[in-house]
Structure 1
């Protein structure tokens, strides 16, 4: 029986009337476009905290969120890993109690021959020229100038007391700054360089307000810059709320880790979430935020929700030393404990071994591999969308008659 929607049944005036019915027009599966969200601190850009912005280029991210901010750095990492990414970024203000990490670089001289002073800040190399006869003060000034020219660094720099070194300070407060990897060396005879570790960072910014602000936005992939317990719990609660039976906006959350296997599996065990995945790049000098953004961008590159990510390259991540790479047994351990390992493959490409979720145990503590792969939850989300879209298109206002019930069953099967 054909149902008439817009022509009143009580019409008595003779005539020819026609309406359009597009209910049966869509016979294929719906599309599955991937929109990614980055949540990260901003600095002195044009954007305000908790404002959502589309980002299409590195330069745009620098203008919006400030050059060298974590929001900028994560945007660069994501766009490098996936050139065609549909990316949105929401900035965070530092926590009121946030303290920035810092480190000191000490230099001695003078140089007896010319050479180069090289400093690594995370994955960025900085070279400063050294001339024969340069004192520690002159070399320190040369290094400071080289650092300031880089701009897009997660640290700021200033001359140390006595002008015989440089002090680096994280751009944002929080414990994340303690994980910024620093190293230095010089080829100039007579010059020595001593690089201290970043310390003193406390209290990462809270991501809860940002997650609340984008609750209705419908992102498919959400990348966070840290793996602390508070952040991952907030992410898990957000993903559970947006992906429940009523909201039906399923998404996955992504974080990065470059530390030890033992600590990484502990972090994953506390998360224990079928919608969260943590990419483990052992020995990497990249920030956790960079690993998370690159890994998330590759996940967002695949619209087929069931297709595995095995072997896909994450462009932009560093090639780690052989001594830092995980062996087969370590990778197996990670895969059995909710940590998704990355490895350096042929051609020095950083590749995904297997994209798994942090979910390993049910609520009663039973080992449960039901949601092992992150593709499992993504497939469930897509299947639900396909079913709901089909029924909403075919039967938007229909009565629950026996005929319609049979039709619904036919559409779903």
Structure 2
């Protein structure tokens, strides 16, 4: 019986024509790798969702109900959905740390209004408008402004007023609130004449949630992109260690964490230099009115949406939705961005229309285990491409050879037998590489074919070992030309 049937047994005597289906060759090596995204963040008491319980999110309205209007998580998910409506998204919420402290800032109003107008105040990129009537005194203006802040259900801050001073408090306890931007007249509005406004930036927030609890809540579910809103050392160390373990050959549920941070150029450089993980990307948000957790959500959405289309294609020039650009004076120069890219911090640009666009997405990986400079995992495209290659190769082999026998080369087996051999395994590896080449993910497949090793394991004769020296396709990041001229 040379044909290896899966279901039809040889002991049939009842007359009939029996036929079984075999789907092992139905699909090629190029398969869809469905992404699953996880957005993490803090919730408010008004949210109905229990903390540390993963929940699938299908709309920003659902997120508001589950996590509370104005919460970090609801805002992150709203921004995510603006930039990616197609990828499956889950969320894990966590309550504020009981021992944490909320960040605060102040707005001090002085001078009586000599004209009627509108005070345009921005809290975390949200425009808050308070009416001002000619003759209004500082106390009245501050009262109106605080009321307007509290009336904005999506505001990341609440407000109180006293004798012309508005005190803003972050919705959440923790360090993230320190980066909430406060400013006037982002779009060039005018403050009513006679009124002077002095802003003291948000500060004093301490006590981020326990990252280990959030990580434990992920269980063994694979999330290809994880939006991570906390950048304190403990939180980053926790998610880095978890993702390193997930990427190993025994778990194979790898993922990439996306975070964002504000600060001076020096502060951002120090943050980047303190990290070294091929599974972490940090986009700087210097000068942006939009909170860091929303910037991280934008980058995560971009990485998930476009990375699923083609993991090897660079992300440069891809636009944002819902992200407010820094004022021109606050934008880093080309040389400053270049320095950040050597520190492990990703960068953005702003086009002529004010749209924030990705300049380059990199990981924080800079050195190998021996401490030598190493650019092996510099760009985010590298771990995304490797993730797809592993997924597609495993899927290809497991579909075609789910219940096969294993034998040495050179035997005279029937052509219909379900037997894998080293020679056949090598041929399948080369066929797989050719498909990856056609998809634009690898190059130099001839050299790959010459270097592939496929052999039976010496100590375990039921095991086939393969060495796959794939040459990843690279990205067109830098073009250099020398223009020689003659007068």
Q: Which residue of 2 aligns with 1:278?
A: 282
Moved more, 24-33 or 3-12: 3-12
Q: Which residue of 2 aligns with 1:110?
A: 112
- Residues 40-98 of structure 1 show CA distances to partners (whole Å, capped at 9, x for unaligned) of 00002111101222222222211111000000111112112224343221111111211
Distance 1:228 1:289 in 2: 13
Which secondary structure does the structure 2 equivalent of 1:387 belong to?
A: helix
Distance 1:396 1:238 in 2: 30
Q: Which residue of 1 aligns with 2:150?
A: 148
Q: Which residue of 1 aligns with 2:203?
A: 199
Which secondary structure does the structure 2 equivalent of 1:266 belong to?
A: helix
Quote the RMSD (CA, aligned, Å). Answer: 1.9
Which secondary structure does the structure 1 equivalent of 2:234 belong to?
A: helix
CA contact (8 A) 2:108 2:198 kept: yes
Which secondary structure does the structure 1 equivalent of 2:372 belong to?
A: coil
Q: Which residue of 1 aligns with 2:168?
A: 168
Asked if 1:355 corresponds to 2:361, the answer is yes
Distance 2:279 2:134 in 1: 57
Which secondary structure does the structure 2 equivalent of 1:197 belong to?
A: strand
Distance 1:264 1:215 in 2: 31
Q: Which residue of 1 aligns with 2:33?
A: 32
Q: CA deviation at 1:33?
A: 2.5
Q: Which residue of 2 aligns with 1:7?
A: 8
CA contact (8 A) 2:156 2:171 kept: yes
Aligned positions of 1:94-243 closer than 5 A: 94-160=96-162, 163-184=163-184, 187-243=191-247
Distance 2:11 2:99 in 1: 69
Which secondary structure does the structure 2 equivalent of 1:341 belong to?
A: strand
CA contact (8 A) 2:111 2:195 kept: yes
Larger CA Rg, structure 1 vs 2: 2
Which secondary structure does the structure 2 equivalent of 1:343 belong to?
A: strand
How many residues matched? 411
Q: CA deviation at 1:331?
A: 1.8
- Residues 199-231 of structure 1 show CA distances to partners (whole Å, capped at 9, x for unaligned) of 221111122222222232211100111221111
Asked if 1:58 corresponds to 2:60, the answer is yes
Q: Which residue of 2 aligns with 1:289?
A: 293
Asked if 1:268 corresponds to 2:276, the answer is no
Q: Which residue of 1 aligns with 2:426?
A: 409
CA contact (8 A) 2:138 2:164 kept: yes
Aligned positions of 1:257-336 closer than 5 A: 257-302=261-306, 303=308, 304-336=310-342
Moved more, 322-331 or 361-370: 322-331
Distance 1:377 1:240 in 2: 11
Q: CA deviation at 1:262?
A: 2.2
- Residues 322-379 of structure 1 show CA distances to partners (whole Å, capped at 9, x for unaligned) of 2221222112212222111111124222111111111011111100011111111111
Change (3 A) 1:80 1:398: same
Q: CA deviation at 1:2?
A: 2.4
- Residues 277-335 of structure 1 show CA distances to partners (whole Å, capped at 9, x for unaligned) of 11123321221111111111111111211111011112222121222212221122122
Q: CA deviation at 1:128?
A: 0.4
CA contact (8 A) 2:285 2:292 kept: no
Q: Give the TM-score normalised by the residue count of structure 2.
A: 0.80
Q: CA deviation at 1:181?
A: 1.7
Q: CA deviation at 1:389?
A: 0.6
Distance 2:353 2:111 in 1: 40
Moved more, 247-256 or 7-16: 7-16
CA contact (8 A) 1:310 1:355 kept: yes
Structure 1 outlier segments of 4+, above 6 Å: none
Q: Which residue of 1 aligns with 2:385?
A: 379
CA contact (8 A) 2:315 2:360 kept: yes
Unpaired stretches in structure 2, ≥5 consecutive residues: 409-418, 431-487
Moved more, 323-332 or 109-118: 109-118
Q: CA deviation at 1:15?
A: 4.5
CA contact (8 A) 2:261 2:268 kept: yes
Distance 2:254 2:352 in 1: 35
CA contact (8 A) 1:104 1:196 kept: yes
Distance 2:363 2:420 in 1: 39
Which secondary structure does the structure 2 equivalent of 1:113 belong to?
A: coil
Which secondary structure does the structure 1 equivalent of 2:173 belong to?
A: coil
Unpaired stretches in structure 1, ≥5 consecutive residues: none
Distance 2:315 2:280 in 1: 15
Distance 2:101 2:339 in 1: 35
